[in-house]
C-alpha cells in the first residue's frame, strides 16, 4: 500500500509553490518539454509513456530523466498508483517517510488554523486552537470515510463525494462555533480560510527550503527521501547531493 493520502497533501503545497499550474507541461531535467501527455507508468521498469496526439507517436521516458517538478506531478498522478503492485509489506524507508509526510502538512495547517482563530474568531489561546483544529479534522475525516464508503457501495461517482464535502463543510463549523463560542459564520470562515492559508504556508516553506538549499541538494533530497522509497525511481538511482 502506497502513501497516497499523505503525499497528496504534501504535494498540494509543492504545486502551489510553483508559478505554473499543476497541469503544466512535462519536462526533462534539461528543461526540454516532452511531447504529448502521459498515458502509462511501468512500475517495474520505472518508465513513463507519453502519447503525442499530433504525430500519434509514443515516447518512453525513464523517470530519472524527468525534471523534479515532473516527478512530483507523477507522484500524485493516478498513473503512478495504478502502476503500483500494492506490496503487502512496508519497508523501513516507507515507514520513515510516513511521519514527515503527515507531520509537515499538519503543522502548516495548524499554524494557519491558529492564525485564522486569532484574526477571525479573536481567540489567541493555542490550546483552544489545538482542540478546535484536531476536532474539526476528526469530524471532516469521519464524513470523508462515510461518504467514500457510500460512493463505493452506490457507485455514485463524484456526485456523492461532492455531497459529502458540502455536508462536512456545513456541519464542522457547528463544532467550531461551540469551541470558540462564536457565530456559525465566523466558525465557517476559520475553517475555510485555514485550508487555503495552510497550503500557502506549506508552499512558502517548501519554496524557501528549495531556495536556501539549492536546486541540486533539493533534488537529491526528493530522490533519496521520497522517490526511491515509494518506488518512483529504482534503488540506487537517487541523485548524490553535492559536496558542501
What residues does each domain of the chain span?
4-89, 94-213
Asked whether the predicted pLDDT for residue 244 surpasses 60, the reply is: no
Question: Which of 232, 236, 187, 241 has its CA nearest to residue 4?
Answer: 232
In the chain, what is the greatest distance between 2 CA atoms, to the nearest angstrom? Answer: 62
Least confident of 64-78, 166-180, 212-226, 229-243: 229-243
Edge to edge, the sheet with strand 37-42 lists 37-42, 47-52, 57-62
pLDDT at 88: 44
Cell 500519434, residue located: 56
For residues 150 and 66, what is the distance between their CA atoms, to the nearest angstrom?
A: 38
Share of the chain above pLDDT 70, in %: 79
Asked whether the predicted pLDDT for residue 94 surpasses 80, the reply is: no
Least confident of 94-103, 196-205, 223-232: 94-103
Q: Beta partners for 60?
A: 49
For residues 124 and 166, what is the distance between their CA atoms, to the nearest angstrom?
A: 28
8 A C-beta contact, residue 242 and residue 217: yes
Asked whether the predicted pLDDT for residue 201 surpasses 70, the reply is: yes
pLDDT at 197: 92
pLDDT at 24: 59
For residues 32 and 23, what is the distance between their CA atoms, to the nearest angstrom?
A: 16
Asked whether the predicted pLDDT for residue 243 surpasses 50, the reply is: no
Q: Beta partners for 59?
A: 50
**Rounded to two decimals, what is the model's pTM?**
0.66
175: confidence class by pLDDT, cuts 50, 70, 90: very high
Mean residue pLDDT across the chain: 79
Each residue of 17-63: pLDDT tens digit? 443 344 458 988 888 888 888 888 888 888 898 988 888 888 888 98
83: confidence class by pLDDT, cuts 50, 70, 90: low
Amino acid at each position: 500500500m502506497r502513501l497516497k493520502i499523505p503525499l497528496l497533501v504534501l504535494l498540494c503545497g509543492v504545486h502551489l509553490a510553483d508559478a505554473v499550474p499543476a497541469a503544466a507541461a512535462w519536462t526533462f531535467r534539461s528543461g526540454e518539454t516532452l511531447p504529448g501527455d502521459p498515458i502509462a507508468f511501468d512500475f517495474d521498469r520505472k518508465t513513463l509513456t507519453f502519447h503525442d496526439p499530433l504525430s500519434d507517436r509514443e515516447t518512453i521516458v525513464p523517470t530519472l530523466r524527468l525534471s523534479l517538478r515532473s516527478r512530483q506531478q507523477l507522484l500524485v498522478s493516478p498513473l503512478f498508483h495504478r502502476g503500483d503492485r500494492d506490496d503487502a509489506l512496508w519497508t523501513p524507508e516507507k515507514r520513515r517517510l510516513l511521519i514527515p509526510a503527515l507531520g509537515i502538512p499538519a503543522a502548516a495547517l495548524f499554524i494557519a488554523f491558529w492564525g485564522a482563530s486569532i484574526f477571525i474568531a479573536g481567540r489567541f489561546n493555542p490550546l483552544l486552537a489545538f482542540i478546535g483544529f484536531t476536532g474539526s479534522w476528526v469530524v471532516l475525516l469521519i464524513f470523508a470515510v462515510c461518504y467514500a464508503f457510500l460512493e463505493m457501495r452506490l457507485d455514485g461517482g463524484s456526485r456523492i463525494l461532492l455531497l459529502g464535502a458540502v455536508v462536512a463543510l456545513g456541519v464542522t463549523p457547528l463544532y467550531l462555533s461551540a469551541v470558540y463560542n462564536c457565530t456559525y459564520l465566523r466558525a465557517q470562515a476559520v475553517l475555510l480560510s485555514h485550508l487555503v492559508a495552510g497550503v500557502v504556508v506549506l508552499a512558502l516553506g517548501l519554496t524557501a527550503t528549495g531556495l536556501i538549499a539549492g536546486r541540486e541538494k533539493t533534488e537529491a533530497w526528493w530522490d533519496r527521501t521520497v522517490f526511491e522509497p515509494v518506488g518512483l525511481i529504482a534503488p540506487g538511482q537517487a541523485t548524490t547531493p553535492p559536496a558542501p
